[in-house]
Chains A and B, each alone.
Chain A
Amino acid sequence: MTDAIALIGSRAVQFVHEVGAVATFSGHILACLLRRPARIRRYLDEVFGLGVLSLIIICISGIAVGAVLGLQGYNTLERFGATDSLGTVVGLSLIRELGPVLTALLTTGRAGSATTAEIGTMSATEQLDGLRMMSIDPVHYVVAPKALAMVTVMPLLSALFIVCGIAGGYLVGVYWGIDPGSYLTGLETSVDFREDVLGSFIKAVVFGILVGLISTYRGFTATPTSEGVSIATTTTVVEASVCILVFDYFITALWGV
């Protein structure tokens, strides 16, 4: 019994310690983003790398999810004779919820894990120490460009996912015989820019911050062995996925997005 309490206590202390460490790490990244020289070249390389890693899975998943939404939506709406609203149903669920969340989960699995593995391997092979010995701050040179790239790429990928999803829903709907014009009109009249699109954008940015921060932190603090790097990679995927879903609930509950 006392053992159990001691365990809970030490876990709690460890958790608080970890939160503090992540906060310090974020502060360091922020300071590096403002510091000269600006690592524009490194940042663009990272944006390109993340985009290339995620583009195909985002497009395919987007079309598939849109098609499923179209199918399910069509079957349900048909009972009420409201199949003209298919565009509204598909569009709103993608924009407000599924686009940002699924994009973030897919990006975590693809690019987040790769980021952790890369930084962890650099630490295990002393590349980060090599930078330190050249008086180059590894957070400035390696971590900050990767984290910032994740934050900027996430809304772009989310937008791409939504567009692909809407196209997927459109194809299914039209195949089942709804009027192409009413699908698009429904979409146009029901989607509000401030409420829906901006909210979707904010979600994607928040998820980008989460994934960028968790994946770089886990890589940076990985035990410098191959086992340590593989544990860190798994941890990134689990922690980032859970955080995305929890934060999604709170953003939705608090701001009604």
Chain B
Amino acid sequence: MSETAPAQHLCLDSVTMAFGRRTVFERLSCCFPKGEISVLLGGSGSGKSTILRLIGGLVHPIDGRILVDGEDITKLANRDLAKVRHKIGMLFQGGALLDSLTVFENLALPLREHTDLDDGAIHREVDDRLASVGLHDIDDLLPNQLSGGMRKRVALARAIIRKPLILLCDEPFSGLDPISTRQVEDLLVDINRRRGITIVVVSHHVASTMRMAEQVSIVLPEGIRTGTPEEMERHEDPRIQAFLTADQDRPAGSLEEVEVLPGLGS
């Protein structure tokens, strides 16, 4: 039983996920519309990162289908999975830059592996991408010589360097100062507008979320609630209200705190 529309671009269809005996979610269904920015909210440990990793084929569900650009990836062999991943750019929570390579080599790696660009073209492409995330003259630095925010922006540059169809961002704003946050937010909106990329952002940053999102999904223990930002702001579920109005400087446990109050589990 799924409520997903027939035009299935990027969808989880009745997915059950567990690590060992520990169930993360059961029969979860949601779709991320093509060419739009969707934001995924939820308490820590609710399985947001797991949803992105499922879409990337990094972990495998127990049951259900996962559609990426219309193709069910749950039954693909590794070779075919690698092909699907060409369509996906992923920004990991910690950046996941290779720490034995310089910033330049990190960005050049996917180009060297999968394109025939010559060195000059690779240099231009890398510098363009770095400039677009507001970074200059850091080509020869190693990732551990960068601040957390710079690492995140370099990782974002790497995720978009091969012009993916789908961009998955795991907490792109955490560890960024307000100006960089705004910069990354504008950048995401900009590449979405210009290239029509489908973007899924996991974020705790409610203000940015509400500004940029065209669809907001909130992961709750019994399933996922989806709507436009306006719909979510008017939603009657107190947990969603608590989440959206919670000051982002409060510890990221506000969702769980509300859950333990009696009488709210309607």
Contacts and interface: CB of A to CB of B under 8 A. Distances in A.
Interface string A3-37: 00000000000000000000000000000000000
Nearest to B89: A133
A106 B113 CA distance: 36
B110 A134 contact: yes
Contacts of A122: 98
Interface residues of B, number: 25
A134 to B, nearest CB: 5
A162 to B, nearest CB: 32
Interface string B71-96: 00000001000110110111011101
B94 A135 contact: no
Interface in A117-154: 122, 125-127, 129-137
B99 interface: yes
B81 to A, nearest CB: 9
B97 A134 contact: no
Interface string B108-129: 0110011000000000000000
Nearest to A125: B94
B58 interface: yes
Given A125-B96, A126-B94, A126-B96, A133 B113 contact: no
Given A127-B99, A129-B58, A134 B85 contact: yes
B85 A130 contact: no
Contact of A133 (B85, B99, B114): B85
A117 B217 CA distance: 38
Nearest to A49: B100
Given A126-B92, A129-B58, A129-B92, A135 B113 contact: yes
B56 interface: yes
A68 B94 CA distance: 51
Contact of B86 (A129, A131, A135): A135
B92 A130 contact: yes
Nearest to B155: A130
B86 A132 contact: no
Interface string B174-210: 0000000000000000000000000000000000000
A122 B86 CA distance: 22
Most B-side CB within 10 Å, residue of A125, A129, A132, A133: A133
A195 B58 CA distance: 50
B93 A126 contact: yes
A3 to B, nearest CB: 21
B58 A127 contact: no
Contacts of A137: 78, 82
Contacts of A136: 109-110, 113
Nearest to A134: B110
Given A132-B58, A134-B109, A127 B96 contact: yes
A131 B58 CA distance: 11
Contacts of B92: 126, 129-130
B114 A130 contact: no
A127 B71 CA distance: 26
A135 B87 CA distance: 10
A122 B56 CA distance: 18
B93 A132 contact: no
B88 A133 contact: yes
Nearest to B112: A37
Contacts of B82: 135, 137
B56 A133 contact: yes
Most A-side CB within 10 Å, residue of B86, B92, B96, B110: B96
A231 to B, nearest CB: 18
Contacts of A131: 98
Contacts of B56: 129, 132-133
Nearest to A128: B96
A134 B113 contact: yes
Most B-side CB within 10 Å, residue of A125, A132, A135, A137: A135
A188 to B, nearest CB: 45
Contacts of A135: 82-83, 85-86, 113-114
A100 B143 CA distance: 38
Interface of B: 53, 56-58, 78, 82-83, 85-86, 88-90, 92-94, 96-99, 109-110, 113-114, 158, 162
Kindly list the 3 A-B residue pairs having the minimum CB-CB distance in the complex, ordered from nearest.
A130-B96, A126-B96, A135-B82
20 contacts: A122-B98, A125-B96, A126-B93, A126-B94, A127-B97, A129-B56, A129-B58, A130-B90, A132-B57, A132-B58, A132-B85, A133-B56, A133-B89, A134-B85, A134-B113, A134-B114, A134-B158, A135-B114, A136-B113, A137-B78
